[in-house]
Structure 1
Amino acid sequence: MPKATNLIEAYNNFVVEPLKTVEEFRDFYVERPKGAPSPIEELKDRIENAESAKKYLFLGFRGCGKSTELNRLSRALDENRFLIVSYSIRELDVSDFDFRDFFASMALKIYDTAEKEIELERDIKDDFREFMMRITKVSEEDITRYREAGISFSKFILLKLGREAKTREYIRKELETKISDLIQRLKWLTMEVESKSNKKVVVIVDDLDKLARGQQAEVFFYKNYGLLIQPNCFVIYTFPIPLTFNPYYENVRHAFDDDIILPQLPVRSRDRKGINEENFNFYKGIVEKRMDLGLIEEEALKEAILSTGKTSEFISVMRDAAIKAYRNENEKITKEEVAKALEKLRRTYDRTLTEAHKSRLLEIYDKKEARDENISDSTSRDLLFSLTAVEYEDEEGRWCDINPLLMPLVERWKKA
C-alpha cells in the first residue's frame, strides 16, 4: 500500500479499520510516543513469562487503537509456544448479547482452532458436537448440508448464533442451568489442544468495549466476572474504560491478573493553553505514513489534529476532507474541507446530547473531572461511553475533559 500521491489515493488510505496484515503494519503503523508507549510489549512479557494461564482486561476508549495493538500482540507472541485464538464479538449480535452467547462462541472458536491444529480424541470431539447441537437444536442434516457448502461445524453454529434470535433463545434457555457444563467442555478442549500441540492457548476477545449500551456492558462484566476467569487458558478481554468509573470495578479488577490500559493521547495540555508536541507528532505521523504531506495545507492538518479526540475520529475526518477536496477540484486539502468534515462529525455528536448531558459536560470542562453524583447516576459514564467526554493521563496524573471536537459548542451551551 504505497503512500498516496493524490487525493483519491489518500481517501482510500484513510480507512477507519484496525491494521491487520503484514503490509498494513509495514506501511501504516506509527509507534506511540515515548511518553505514552503501547502496553502491548509488557503484556507480551507477562504472557510469555507467566507460570500459569492468566486473564487480563485491556482498557481503552473506543477508537483509540486497541484492535490494532491486539493484532500486534497476536503477531509478537512466539508461535512455537502459543496458539492464538483471536476473534471479535461483532461476529455475534452486539445489540442482543448475553454471556451465554459469549461462552458458546469462545468454545466454538477453540474447537475450530483445535480441528485445524490437532487430531481431537474421538470421545472429546463427539461429546462437544453433540452438546452444541443439543443446546442450539441443530440437526445432523443441517450440519451435513452446510458442510457440503464448505462451512465448518463451528462456523455454522456461530452464524446461527449471530443471525437467528430463535437460536439465541434456545441456547440461553439451555445454558441457564448448564453453563458449567459448557465451561467444562471448553476446558477439556483447551487441555487437549495444549497437550497435543505443546502450545499454550491465548484467547483474544476484541470489541467487548463496543457493546451497544453501557448497561449491557455492566451486566456482562459485573455480573459474570466470576465465570470470565474460569477458562483454563490465557484470555484477554477488551474492557470499556467508562466502566472503571463505577465503584463495582474494584471487585472486578482484583479477579484478573492485571488491567492493561492503552491511554488516550491528549494533544493539548491540561490547561488547554499549550500543545503536547510529542502527541501532536504522533497524529501527524499517521498522515505522513498514508499520504504525501503536500496534499494538505499545514494549517488544515493542524486544525484536524487539534480538533479530534481519538485515532479513528482523526482518520475519519481526514478521509472525509480528502473526498471533499477532490470534489472541489483542489490539489490539496484546505482548512475549508477540514472544517466541513469536523462540523459534520460535531453535529452527529451534538444530536445525541440532552440538556442534562450538556450541563454535565460543562462541569467536566470546568473541573477536569467526570464523577457521577451517586451510583444510580450514570450521566458521566454515559458521556464517557458515547465518547463525548474523554479521560487522559500524563506525568502529572489523570484528568477528564470534553471531546476536543465539541470545544466550539461550549460557549453556545453556556449561553443556553
Structure 2
Amino acid sequence: MSEDLLKAFQQAYRNLELLPLIEQNDLDQFRVDYGNEVIEELEQLVEDSPNGDGKIIFTGHTGCGKSTLLAEFSRRLEERYFVVLFSISDTIEMSDVNHVNILFAIAVNLMYEAEARQVEIPKSTKDAFYKWFATRTKTETESLDAEVSTGFDLLTLFKGVLKVNAAVRNEIKQEFERKISDLVARINEIAAVIQVAIRKEILVLIDDLDKLELGRVNDIYRDNIKALCQPNLRIIYTIPIAVLRDKFLRPLIETETNDQIVVMPVLKLFEKGQSRQTNPQPRAQAKDVLSEILHKRIADELIKPQATEQIVLNSGGVLRELIRIANECCRIALRLIRRKPGQLVIIDEQILDEAVNNIRNDFAVPLGKVDYAILQTTYKNFMPDDPKELDFLDLLHGLYVLEYRNRKNWYDVHPIVVELLRDQGLINGSQPII
C-alpha cells in the first residue's frame, strides 16, 4: 500500500467533509468567490430596513451554499451589527421545532453570544435573565445565585437541556403558546440591554430551518408567521425553496415580511434545453466555479480532468451534490488502495461511474409510480403539470427536481436521476452524462 497515496486521499476525504464552511480558517482555505449578488441583496435589506426590525426570508435548494454564504455575510456585517448566527439544529431537536421554541432559541442565543463576547450587562439584569431561563428549562442547580457569574457555562447548560429534553420543550410550548407576547417581550428586553451596552443594532440569522420536513414547515408558518415577525430586531429566517410554491404560505410570508424574500439560485450549468442537445457545452462561469471548489479540496494528481468535469455536470449546479459525488469517489478510491496495495489509484471514469451509480440507487429507493410520472413530465416540459402539487414539492425539496432561474423560472430533473427515467423507458433520445 502506498502510504503517501493513502494519506493524500484521506486528506481529500477530510476536505470534502468541510461543507458548509463556517470557521474562518476553513473559509480562507476553501472559499470560492460565489454568491456575491445574494450577499448584496441581503445587505441592502438589512441596511435599509425602515424601522430596524425587518424580517427577511432566505431560501434556496438544500445544499446550494446558503450556510456558507450566511457565515460570510455575518462576518461582513459584524463590525456594524451585533450578529447572532446559529443553526436551529444545534439548539432544538429538528423533529420538534415549532414557532415557540424558535423564539425561545433566539432569546437563549442572544444571551449566549452576549456572554461569549463579554458584553457588559449589569449583574442584576443578568441574574434576572438567568433565573428566567432556569425556570423555563427546569434547570436544577444547587445554588443558581452562586452560579450566575459563570453565565456562559450556564447558558451552555440551558442550550443542552433545550436540545435533548423533549419534556422541557413541551412545557415551554404550553407556557407560551397562548401568550407569545410574553416571550417576545423577553426577547425585546434582552436585545435592548445588549444594544445599550454595545451601541450596535442586532441582526439574528437562523440557519437550517430550510432542512425541516415540509409538513413541519407548514405547521410553523401557516398559523404563526405573525409571531415570528414580532421581535423588534432584524431576523433572517431560512426556509425550504418548496415553500415558495405553496399557494397559501407564500402570500402569507410575503405579507408579513413586506415581500423581503431572497432566493439563492442553483448554479446554472446549461441554459434551458441545452443539456438535451448533442455534445452540449456548459456555461463557462458556472463550470469554473464548481471546478475550483473541487480543485481546492482534491489534489490534481488524484483526479483526472475528465472526471472533474463529469462530477461538475452530474452535480446539476448544486454545491452539496458536487461534494457528495466527489466524497463518494474518494471513499471508493480509499477502499481500492487498501484492497490493492501498490497499485496506482486515481479518480477516473470507472470510479466515477461506480460513485454515480451508488448515488442513483439511493435516489431510486423512495420513488413510486406517481413520482416517476411527475419527473417524466418535468423532464419533457421543464415544468410539472402542477408546480404546487405536494408530490412535486417533495421532489423539489429532495433535489430530484432542480429549479433554475432566467427571466422565467424553469425546472429540470437532477442529472443523476435522469438515468432512472431512461431505465424505466420514460424518456429516450438523450445520452447520459457519463
TM-score scaled by length of structure 1: 0.90
Q: What is the alpha-carbon distance in structure 2 between the residues aligned to residue 8 and residue 70 of structure 1?
A: 28
Counterpart contact for 1:205–1:237, Cα < 8 Å? yes
Query: Residue 6 of structure 1: SS of its match in structure 2?
Result: helix
Letter of the aligned partner of 2:425 in structure 1? K
Letter of the aligned partner of 1:95 in structure 2? S
How many residues matched? Answer: 405
Identity, % of aligned pairs?
Answer: 26
Query: How much does 1:131 deviate?
Result: 3.1
Q: What is the alpha-carbon distance in structure 1 between the residues aligned to residue 146 and residue 426 of structure 2?
A: 65
1:406 corresponds in structure 2 to 417
Per the alignment, do residues 194 and 411 of structure 1 end up closer, same or farther by CA in structure 2, a change over 3 Å counting?
A: same
Counterpart contact for 1:208–1:238, Cα < 8 Å? yes
Match of 1:266 among 268, 273, 291: 268
Query: How much does 1:121 deviate?
Result: 3.9
Q: What is the alpha-carbon distance in structure 2 between the residues aligned to residue 58 and residue 154 of structure 1?
A: 28
Q: What is the alpha-carbon distance in structure 2 between the residues aligned to residue 149 and residue 139 of structure 1?
A: 15
1:385 corresponds in structure 2 to 397
Per the alignment, do residues 237 and 150 of structure 1 end up closer, same or farther by CA in structure 2, a change over 3 Å counting?
A: closer
2:23 corresponds in structure 1 to 21
1:319 corresponds in structure 2 to 327
Summarize deviations over 1:77-133 as a string: whole Å, max 9, x none: 141x21111100111100122211111111111122233443334554344333333
Per the alignment, do residues 129 and 144 of structure 1 end up closer, same or farther by CA in structure 2, a change over 3 Å counting?
A: closer
1:306 corresponds in structure 2 to 313
Unaligned ranges ≥5, structure 2 = 1-5, 338-343, 428-434
Summarize deviations over 1:340-373 as a string: whole Å, max 9, x none: 1111111111101121111111111112114537
2:189 corresponds in structure 1 to 188
Q: What is the alpha-carbon distance in structure 1 between the residues aligned to residue 400 and residue 426 of structure 2?
A: 20
Query: Residue 247 of structure 2: SS of its match in structure 1?
Result: coil
Q: What is the alpha-carbon distance in structure 1 between the residues aligned to residue 148 and residue 353 of structure 2?
A: 52
Map 1:157-306 to 2 at 5 A: 157-211=158-212, 213-248=213-248, 249-257=250-258, 258-271=260-273, 272=275, 273=277, 274=280, 275-306=282-313
Map 1:79-158 to 2 at 5 A: 79=79, 81-91=80-90, 92-115=92-115, 116-122=117-123, 124-141=125-142, 152-158=153-159
1:342 corresponds in structure 2 to 356
Q: What is the alpha-carbon distance in structure 1 between the residues aligned to residue 225 and residue 283 of structure 2?
A: 38
Summarize deviations over 1:192-237 as a string: whole Å, max 9, x none: 11112101111010000011x2110111122211011111111111
Counterpart contact for 1:266–1:276, Cα < 8 Å? yes
Counterpart contact for 2:46–2:54, Cα < 8 Å? yes
1:46 corresponds in structure 2 to 45
Counterpart contact for 2:131–2:144, Cα < 8 Å? no
Counterpart contact for 2:127–2:145, Cα < 8 Å? no
Query: Residue 353 of structure 1: SS of its match in structure 2?
Result: coil
Counterpart contact for 1:5–1:295, Cα < 8 Å? no
Q: What is the alpha-carbon distance in structure 2 between the residues aligned to residue 136 and residue 412 of structure 1?
A: 53
Bigger mean CA deviation after superposition, 273-282 or 380-389: 273-282
Unaligned ranges ≥5, structure 1 = none
Counterpart contact for 1:137–1:170, Cα < 8 Å? no
1:63 corresponds in structure 2 to 63
Bigger mean CA deviation after superposition, 10-19 or 45-54: 45-54
Counterpart contact for 2:376–2:426, Cα < 8 Å? no
TM-score scaled by length of structure 2: 0.86
Per the alignment, do residues 227 and 9 of structure 1 end up closer, same or farther by CA in structure 2, a change over 3 Å counting?
A: same
Letter of the aligned partner of 1:342 in structure 2? V
Query: How much does 1:55 deviate?
Result: 1.2
Q: What is the alpha-carbon distance in structure 2 between the residues aligned to residue 62 and residue 146 of structure 1?
A: 41
Q: What is the alpha-carbon distance in structure 2 between the residues aligned to residue 147 and residue 188 of structure 1?
A: 18
1:31 corresponds in structure 2 to 33
Query: How much does 1:53 deviate?
Result: 2.5
Q: What is the alpha-carbon distance in structure 2 between the residues aligned to residue 286 and residue 142 of structure 1?
A: 51
Q: What is the alpha-carbon distance in structure 2 between the residues aligned to residue 391 and residue 143 of structure 1?
A: 52
Letter of the aligned partner of 1:28 in structure 2? F
Match of 1:367 among 381, 385, 388: 381
Counterpart contact for 1:267–1:276, Cα < 8 Å? yes
Query: Residue 227 of structure 1: SS of its match in structure 2?
Result: helix
Query: Residue 210 of structure 2: SS of its match in structure 1?
Result: helix
Counterpart contact for 1:325–1:334, Cα < 8 Å? no
Counterpart contact for 2:99–2:228, Cα < 8 Å? no
Q: What is the alpha-carbon distance in structure 1 between the residues aligned to residue 356 and residue 289 of structure 2?
A: 20
Query: Residue 64 of structure 1: SS of its match in structure 2?
Result: coil
Q: Over aligned residues, Cα RMSD in angstroms?
A: 2.5
Query: How much does 1:384 deviate?
Result: 0.8
Summarize deviations over 1:5-38 as a string: whole Å, max 9, x none: 9333222221252112332222211112xxx754
Query: How much does 1:142 deviate?
Result: 8.0
